[in-house]
């Protein structure tokens, strides 16, 4: 049974009291006390997000601005994404890399709506925040600075009804393109709305001043289509969407090429390099990495969890699972992990060693559930 962990010295998000009022089960996560589930339970919360709209508190994530002259060029010295070509009000997913091409963190970088060439917005993972900020500050020394937005909360509204719900409060949200952001006034509060998320669904992240966060959350929760959703369902949703979780599917030992994140490396950057670990990445891009992240579907009902050894049908070890569990929407166990390149083709039969027994599984393409991002009105 789960251990009870002391909640001393944990940070609380601005929505902490609301979570407790809503009956959330709170757990320590990345130094914060966070809702892992509400009375609905992980399974129903997951399915509700896929069917309607789920409201997530992601205030533990790090929000900051980088400021300095020609800041995009300076940032490109740390990440493989094409940041200089970002247009005003657009967001890009990229990774902070170390000298070996390993991933220090994955993050969202956005260009302000006013097209200020000297400012970029960042959203980074909670557990990596201090480490990331130190990397940026050390790198920018004398050229720019990092401004923490510690007085801001971050809410995510995700699911097929998210746009309809948010449009009731600000009609322009309905037609925002995927991976764009804009300032808005919602429920009397000035916020920044981004059309993005990490569930595979259409949805939004709303950066809101901490003092107004509870009021905004309550306003969204008033809508019949919106339920509060905890970190438990957030994890199963992102797994079904084939999205990496930092510290599990990606870390300082994995490169973006191995992690199958090549799509996030800008074309110009692939030709020019100029980011940490570029030599390794350019070789991996050219020759293919020796191991690669793949999806796996175990046969039967038993889930295979993180750390499960992957073997060939002959019994040779060829990889390890980095995220695994039960996919409520696919109604079956699903997993992702790294395997040697030879075994990465969809349809390849492999063995997962679960509690000493062989569990058969097939390599499969991801996502496990089709992504439903908003690509514009048809």
Residue whose CB is less far from other proteins, 231 or 344? 231
Which are the contacts of 242, defined by CB distance < 8 A and separation ≥ 6? Answer: 200, 295, 336, 366, 367, 368
End-to-end Cα spacing for the chain: 50
Smallest gap from Cβ 326 to other proteins, in A, equals 4
Identify the residue among 42, 108, 181, 310 touching other proteins (CB under 8 A): 42
Task: Please provide the size of the chain in residues.
Answer: 378
DSSP letters, 142-166, are: TTEEEEE-TTEEEEEEESTTHHHHH
355 near other proteins, rule: CB under 8 A: yes
SS3 377: coil
Question: Is 8 an interacting residue with respect to other proteins (CB under 8 A)?
Answer: no
The CB density around residue 65, as the number of other CB atoms within 10 Å, is: 18
CB 304 within 8 A of CB 352: yes
Stretch that binds other proteins, among 106-114, 270-278, 281-289, 326-334 (CB under 8 A): 326-334
- Tokens for 262, please give them: 């090549």
How many C-beta atoms surround the C-beta of residue 301 within 10 A? 9
Assess 303 for contact with other proteins (CB under 8 A).
yes
200 is an interface residue for other proteins by CB under 8 A:
no
Q: Which stretch binds other proteins (CB under 8 A): 183-191, 243-251, 268-276, 320-328?
A: 320-328
Structure tokens at 76: 């490109």
CA 211 to chain CA mean position, Å = 25
Q: How far is the CB of 372 from other proteins (least distance, A)?
A: 21
Residue 224 lies near other proteins (rule: CB under 8 A): no
* Residue located via tokens 């969202």: 108
- Residue 205 or 235: the one with the smaller Cβ distance to other proteins is 235
Among 21, 23, 41, 211, the residue binding other proteins under the rule CB under 8 A is 41
Q: Does 232 bind other proteins (CB under 8 A)?
A: yes
Estimate the share of the chain in helix, then strand, then coil, as percent rounded to the nearest 5: 25, 35, 40
Site string for other proteins, 114-153 (x = CB under 8 A): ----------------------------------------
User: Residues 38, 136, 326, 368: which binds other proteins (CB under 8 A)?
Assistant: 326
Separation between Cα atoms, residue 266 and residue 44, nearest integer Å? 38
62 binds other proteins, rule: CB under 8 A: no
CB 109 within 8 A of CB 81: yes
Residue 267 vs 355, nearer CB to other proteins: 355
301 binds other proteins per the rule CB under 8 A: yes
323 belongs to the binding site for other proteins (CB under 8 A)? no
Determine how many CB atoms are found less than 10 A away from the CB of residue 93.
17
Beta bridge partners of 212: none
Choose which of 180, 236, 264, 364 interacts with other proteins (CB under 8 A).
236
User: For residues 37 and 255, which CB has a smaller minimum distance to other proteins in the complex?
Assistant: 37
Contact string (CB under 8 A) for other proteins, positions 10-39, x = contact: ---------------------------x--
Pick from 127, 328, 350, 374: which binds other proteins (CB under 8 A)?
328
Alpha-carbon separation of residue 8 from 11, 55, 116, 257, 301 (angstroms): 9, 26, 41, 40, 38
- Binding interface with other proteins (CB under 8 A): 1-2, 4, 37, 41-44, 46, 232, 235-236, 301-303, 305, 325-326, 328, 333, 355
């Amino acid at each position: 049974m789960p251990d009870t962990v002391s909640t001393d010295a944990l940070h609380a998000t601005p929505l902490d009291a609301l979570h407790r009022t809503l009956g959330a089960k709170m757990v320590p996560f990345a130094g914060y006390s966070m809702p892992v589930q509400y009375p609905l339970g992980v399974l129903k919360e997951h399915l509700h997000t896929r069917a309607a709209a789920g409201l997530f508190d992601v205030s533990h994530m790090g929000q900051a601005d980088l400021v300095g002259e020609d800041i995009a060029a300076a940032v490109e010295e740390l990440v493989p994404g094409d940041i200089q070509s970002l247009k005003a009000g657009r967001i890009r997913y990229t990774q902070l890399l170390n000298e070996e091409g390993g991933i220090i963190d994955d993050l969202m970088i956005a260009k302000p709506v006013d097209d200020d060439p000297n400012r970029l917005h960042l959203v980074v993972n909670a557990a990596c925040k201090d480490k990331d900020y130190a990397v940026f500050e050390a790198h920018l020394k004398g050229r720019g600075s990092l401004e923490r937005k510690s007085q801001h909360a971050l809410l995510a509204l995700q699911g097929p009804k998210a746009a309809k719900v948010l449009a009731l409060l600000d009609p322009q949200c309905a037609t925002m393109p995927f991976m764009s952001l804009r300032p808005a006034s919602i429920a009397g509060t000035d916020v920044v709305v981004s059309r993005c998320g990490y569930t595979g669904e259409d949805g939004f992240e709303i950066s809101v001043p901490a003092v107004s966060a509870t009021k905004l959350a309550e306003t969204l929760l008033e809508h019949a289509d919106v339920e509060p959703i905890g970190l438990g369902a957030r994890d199963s949703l992102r797994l079904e969407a084939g999205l990496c979780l930092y510290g599990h599917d990606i870390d300082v030992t994995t490169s973006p090429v191995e992690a199958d994140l090549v799509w996030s490396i800008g074309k110009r950057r692939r030709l020019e390099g100029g980011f940490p670990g570029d030599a390794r990445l350019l070789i991996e891009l050219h020759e293919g990495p020796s191991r690669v992240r793949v999806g796996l579907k175990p046969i039967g009902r038993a889930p295979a969890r993180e750390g499960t050894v992957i073997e060939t049908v002959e019994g040779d070890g060829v990889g390890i699972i980095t995220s695994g569990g039960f996919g409520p929407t696919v109604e079956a166990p699903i997993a992702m992990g790294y395997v040697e390149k030879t075994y990465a083709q969809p349809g390849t039969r492999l063995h997962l060693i679960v509690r000493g027994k062989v569990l058969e599984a097939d390599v499969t393409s991801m996502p496990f559930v089709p992504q439903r991002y908003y690509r514009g009105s048809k």
